[in-house]
Structure 1
């Protein structure tokens, strides 16, 4: 099996993206259902193999992309791969989503012996490099591929523990910045790897949600590093970053609007109209069909109706719009539901950039 154009579409994702960027008509709106570990469920590949076996990782991506024909493929290393490259651990269950083991940094003295990841030399990142080699060759002329590098604050929280990190931001800010620098430099090394194979960059930083840290802490501990990363990614790869942020991010939109973004993916709790009117004038937006109540639990009619609603409203964003789910679709979702999501995108008709 190889990566192939979807027979339901007139254009490949690359052709569609170019047309929209040039202000021309495309066959449909760009669409991204976030599938994550659902790829394991559909492909029959175990969660652990999906993160460690190069051939099976690539096969899972092929199977899911070829069925649905969405508009980009996203591979790792993600937060998990970078945390593990830095010495942290994740638990990979037989079924379900991997989760962090006990945090590796119990004392900031550990930083004295830590160094940033060198992606080209690191055995954990090597798995994703091999996957990038395989898929980037197959995907040429068909679909863009992005390497997810997680988010700096979320990676840092996996190494230290969320509760301790939030406390440390108030009591031990200097140490937090030291750890954030190691993490950010590790992510930049992964950007260098992605650039070598023509990949773009995706990021997700759920722990940086202002509901957890507040806008002042975001400005101090997240904004400088994320700005640095998005600028660096654009410079090195020639592609702007796809960023997903969970939760109610309205209080930090003034920061998010300053990043070099291909899209800002919004949680389904956000009012898509407000986003299109406000942050949509600064950066392209993506969203925000509810992955649980609409995609996983909804009927065909409900999925079609909500997709139509999001496309009609989101398309008014001045900087551009991509149809997406508000977060990851649960891994045991009926695969036909995602067929309906993509068919609903096609049913919306032509899209003009």
Structure 2
């Protein structure tokens, strides 16, 4: 499969990852981190500072491009509402579905009467207290998406039965989840961490659990309802819904796949971003994905593809198949999509050699610019020591440099833009430059001050108060609400709409030429 052309950079690239010389690879591997570090499950899943510390260590061992920590994201809201969890000695907590919180409309009425403070309920205090170790770098909060949370509260069979036999009751459950659980949960995390982006996990909302048509009826509207709710407090949400997980290869259907991508994009606020998640993507035809994204590429829109390596393939191998899957993804998408590789839900007992192989393949075949013919790229499988040996080396003992605190938008922008400092072209072109820019989010406590000086870009948070802003001298300014900023930066607003926002004073821009220069920097 041969591709030509380049990814078109638009204003959305202002919040895209900076160039580090290769494609990036991350991992969902909390159980594997717990297993590798020999951590007790109770501590690992209740002390989130410890959880993230272990995740950072394992991320460095594997040379991942982000920390590897994580938690049982599907359980926290249920636990905070009073649901029972089963805590195993050596496994992640799970909801006790023998005693669901909602079995009838009467149970829902009782839950509605219950007042929950998400600053203090369940494990939220630990999550929000320690979130700065990982989350503030990307300024994100996490939550269980509406459909999967409904499963957590009712159980999957009971929820499906209600959707079909008692639709009014099912709709009331979803409204309760969005308005009375997730909105205040996201609000509490925003207040505690100044996070501006929320990522919702929605593994239950997938093919074949639901058809795309069922997801358009039951999943998308409530994802969008949540997005609308939290936009009012300056948070934007993205729900990872609509995954295509057909197990039987002979039943692979491009039409159903494309319809599931429609669900994904509708749940991501309309942004052309798709996930090749838990399905058998090492066997599915990738041409069907390119057929879907063609309409966006013809319009000059940058399409983001997060390509997952299947959990069973990661655990069972063989290594050659893992490497070939990464290579196949890169050949299919890296030249004209914004591609990243992701290791999906790594099983606890996955051999480390398998993960090393996936990372090495990503960083070898994903070296930028992508080679015209990946068969000409020499790949050498790394020979690495075990984690137990590595953790006693000087490299492992080196403490990762403590990140400067960057609240709110500054944390988000630094996580996305900071890698530009590794770009030799940027260092050379801006060696003598001195510029500063202020992104002032008018409905948040903090804005972001971006400075470019002597070949280095820096991002700091600044208090959004009159005295602080009055004393700032900058070359470029963008001032608006957080919701408008995300619409603006993701390309949702047309030029005409942007002009309208400027004329009404909802969007203020000063130093337009300098602001364009910042865009040029991020396009390097």
> Is 1:92 paired with 2:100?
no
After TM superposition, give the deviation of residue 25 of structure 1 in Å: 4.7
> Is 1:253 paired with 2:261?
yes
Q: Distance in 1 between matches of 2:153 and 2:292?
A: 35
CA separation of 1:338 and 1:242: change in aligned 2, threshold 3 A: farther
Q: Distance in 2 between matches of 1:323 and 1:307?
A: 8
More displaced stretch, 85-94 vs 166-175: 85-94
8 Å Cα contact 2:261/2:274 also seen in 1: no
CA separation of 1:345 and 1:194: change in aligned 2, threshold 3 A: farther
After TM superposition, give the deviation of residue 171 of structure 1 in Å: 1.2
> Is 1:107 paired with 2:125?
no
Match of 1:324 among 329, 332, 342: 342
Deviations for 1:238-263, whole angstroms, at most 9, x for unmatched residues? 66637263524623322322223584
Q: Distance in 2 between matches of 1:79 and 1:153?
A: 11
8 Å Cα contact 2:227/2:236 also seen in 1: no
More displaced stretch, 87-96 vs 186-195: 186-195
CA separation of 1:187 and 1:264: change in aligned 2, threshold 3 A: farther
1:52-67 to structure 2, matched below 5 A, reads 52-67=46-61
Q: Name the residue aligned to 1:334.
A: 351
Q: Distance in 2 between matches of 1:26 and 1:238?
A: 28
Match of 1:155 among 124, 149, 157: 149
1:43-58 to structure 2, matched below 5 A, reads 43-58=37-52
Q: Distance in 1 between matches of 2:105 and 2:326?
A: 47
Deviations for 1:114-161, whole angstroms, at most 9, x for unmatched residues? 147542242432121112144456xx4xxx364331221111111111
More displaced stretch, 90-99 vs 166-175: 90-99
After TM superposition, give the deviation of residue 110 of structure 1 in Å: 1.2
Q: Distance in 2 between matches of 1:70 and 1:221?
A: 36
Deviations for 1:263-290, whole angstroms, at most 9, x for unmatched residues? 4322332543322431573852211322
Larger Rg: 2
Gaps of 5+ in 2: 1-11, 247-255, 371-522
Q: Distance in 2 between matches of 1:93 and 1:134?
A: 26
8 Å Cα contact 1:19/1:26 also seen in 2: no
The answer to which structure, 1 or 2, has the higher relative contact order (CA under 8 A, 6+ apart) is 1
8 Å Cα contact 1:45/1:56 also seen in 2: no
8 Å Cα contact 1:154/1:207 also seen in 2: yes
Q: Name the residue aligned to 2:312.
A: 292
Q: Distance in 1 between matches of 2:274 and 2:41?
A: 27
8 Å Cα contact 2:141/2:190 also seen in 1: no
When the two chains are superposed, the root-mean-square deviation of aligned CA atoms in Å is 3.1
Q: Name the residue aligned to 1:266.
A: 276
Secondary structure of the residue aligned to 1:52 is coil
Q: Name the residue aligned to 1:13.
A: none
Gaps of 5+ in 1: 1-16
Q: Distance in 1 between matches of 2:360 and 2:239?
A: 23
Secondary structure of the residue aligned to 1:323 is strand
Higher helix share: 1
Q: Distance in 2 between matches of 1:187 and 1:334?
A: 37
After TM superposition, give the deviation of residue 77 of structure 1 in Å: 6.6
Aligned residues: 328
CA separation of 1:172 and 1:292: change in aligned 2, threshold 3 A: same
CA separation of 1:322 and 1:262: change in aligned 2, threshold 3 A: farther
Q: Name the residue aligned to 1:306.
A: 325
Match of 1:30 among 18, 24, 35: 24
8 Å Cα contact 1:19/1:25 also seen in 2: no
Q: Distance in 2 between matches of 1:253 and 1:136?
A: 27
1:2-41 to structure 2, matched below 5 A, reads 21=16, 25-41=19-35
Q: Name the residue aligned to 2:334.
A: 315
